[in-house]
Structure 1
Amino acid sequence: MTPQTILLIGAPVDSGKDRRGCLMGPDAYRTAGLAEALGDLGHGLRDLGNLCPAPATVDPALPAHLHAPAETAGWTATLMQAAEKAMQEGLPIFLGGDHSLSLGSVAGVANHSAAMGRPQFVLWLDAHSDFHTPQTTASGNLHGTPLGYVTGRAGFHGFPEVANPVPEENICILGLRSVDRAEREALQSS
């Protein structure tokens, strides 16, 4: 294994769903010894601490049933910027719990890849495709939208623009077992 400079970036995102509890994710990974385990594998390591969401306001074009859309849009902006910057310095690992953090982290890595003239590929290990848009999620959980967002699907009003969408053919979803009707219809044409 080639040693890497790994950057641990805490993202205590707790806004992508209606249940609380993901705030503790970054600290749980740290307490469990993730940094030490990566160091034992010979990697250089820098822990950049926890991020905070950028200020954002709710866009009136978003559906009213979404959970904390302004906070999630703020996290997306912060994570996009952090991912793009971190990719210039090493291999970022985002520590969190709510996978709405993928909205910004994947988009930021895609921006870096585009700047380097390289394609972006995504391996999505999840029971859900997370290909919803804010308009198609019946639950209002924005953690069900990351792949919809990073592929450039419409409807993410008030979220940062996706400048470099990940081509759908560059995404591999493993572990898929639960797909909502709206996602299934969108994926059929993907």
Structure 2
Amino acid sequence: MSTERNKRVAILGVPLNFGGSMAGVELGPAALRLARLQQRIRGLGYEVLDLGDLRIEHPNYVAAADDRAKYLREISAVCEEVAAEVRSILRAGQFPIILGGDHSIAAGSVAGVASFFHEQDKPLGLIWLDAHADMNTPETTPTGNVHGMPLAALFGYGARELTHVAGYAPKIDPRYCAHVGARDVDPGERELIRRLGVRFFTMREIDERGMSACMDEALRIVSQAPAGYHVTLDVDVLDPNDAPGSGTVVRGGLTYREAHLAMEKIAEAGGMQALEVVEINTVLDVNNKTAELGVELILSALGKTIL
């Protein structure tokens, strides 16, 4: 991203909670603001505009247990709105920071960044930090929860309501995507990952090679994209001891320092065009610990260093 956009940040909250099965993530944006997100970004020398939260229209019905993509129509409508807002932020020369909500919103946020650069014929890269692959489709999902589908949708797989947010598909070429931190992958996702050749840095590889080497390679992959890259971070990528406030915790995640190292390397590399933090569940959090860490990681991605 350009230095000018780097210094002008726009914060957008997307308090959507019906892509998953547990209440609490809709308060994630508020929890991050409570941790003084805006003031602390300003402390790094940025001009900050908080656009507030999108108004989310909640479904007035309960999805059937066997629905293969629960609340798809409503989630698609939110994602279209998110994509439009993110495009507007970029057109204003600002850097978007998107606060979730559950991870289904990424089908909209990434679409917004990708479509902005699509108009300039520049493909976008993507770093996806997550314990889960998020590459299910309505055919492979074990739950029907759409927050497990956005990455597949960005590659053009799954329900058209998700794949064609912003009017076209796919948004991301798998060659320009790096997934970091996976440790819980469904069988159908595994098959699609292999078919597309998406580069996954699993926790096993991170354990063996170290976070620094894995992030260096991930950044080489996404930096090949002419437009730069979007970064989306699901807090369940972190170890539950450091980030208890997630409804989808999986033991053995990134440590506090590994997560900061990843964000610091992203800041040093340059090229980040948007940043997103999702899935902070305030009901499960302890003294806003996860939101505090979320803010710290955003600051590291924006260039905060120890010295």
Normalized against structure 1, the TM-score is what?
A: 0.88
2:131 is equivalent to residue 127 of structure 1: yes
Q: Secondary structure at the match of 2:97?
A: strand
Contact 2:135-2:189 within 8 A present in 1 as well? yes
The verdict on how the C-alpha distance between 1:160 and 1:148 changes in structure 2, with shifts beyond 3 A counting, is closer
1:111-152: CA deviation from partner (whole Å, max 9, x where unpaired)? 011112322000001111111112221111111111111111
Q: What is the rounded CA distance, in whole Å, between the counterparts of 1:73 and 1:100 in structure 2?
A: 9
Taking only aligned residues, the RMSD between alpha carbons, in angstroms, comes to: 2.3
Which amino acid in structure 2 is aligned with residue 71 of structure 1? E
- Percent identity of paired positions between Structure 1 and Structure 2: 33
- What CA distance in whole angstroms lies between the structure 1 residues aligned with 2:163 and 2:183? 30
Q: What secondary structure does 2:78 align onto?
A: helix
In structure 2, the partner of 1:18 is 21
Of 176, 184, 188, 1:170 maps to: 176
Aligned residue for 1:34?
37
Describe the superposition over 1:29-58 as per-residue Cα deviations: whole angstroms up to 9, x where unpaired. 1111111111000111100111124799xx
Distance 1:174 1:160 in 2: 22
Native 8 Å contact 1:110 1:120 kept in 2: yes
- The residue aligned with 1:188 is 194
Moved more, 175-184 or 89-98: 89-98
Q: Which amino acid in structure 2 is aligned with residue 169 of structure 1?
A: R
Confirm or deny: 8 A CA contact 1:55 1:74 kept in the other structure. no
| 2:89 is equivalent to residue 99 of structure 1 | no
Please state which structure has a larger fraction of its residues in helix. 2
Q: Which amino acid aligns with 2:40?
A: A
Deviation at 1:166, TM superposition (A): 0.6
Larger Rg over CA atoms? 2
Q: Structure 1: how far apart are the matches of 2:190 and 2:174?
A: 14
CA contact 2:68–2:138 (8 Å) conserved in 1: no
State the distance in 2 between where 1:96 and 1:118 align. 26
Q: 1:150 to 1:160 in 2, by over 3 A?
A: closer
Aligned residue pairs total 185
Distance 1:101 1:40, change over 3 A: same
Q: Quick one: distance in 2 between partners of 1:27 and 1:55?
A: 18
Q: Aligned runs of 1:69-84 on 2, under 5 Å? A: 69-84=72-87
Q: Is the 8 A contact 1:53 1:74 kept in 2?
A: no
What are structure 1's unaligned runs of at least 5 residues? 57-62
Give the superposition deviation at 1:100: 1.0
Cα distance in 2 between the residues matched to 1:94 and 1:159: 18
Give yes or no for contact 2:68–2:141 (8 Å, CA) kept in 1: no
Contact 1:73 1:160 in 2 (8 A): no
Q: TM-score w.r.t. structure 2 length? A: 0.56
Amino acid at match of 1:135: E
- Give the corresponding residue for 1:111: 115
Offset, 1:18: 1.2
Structure 2, unmatched stretches of 5+, are 60-65, 197-307
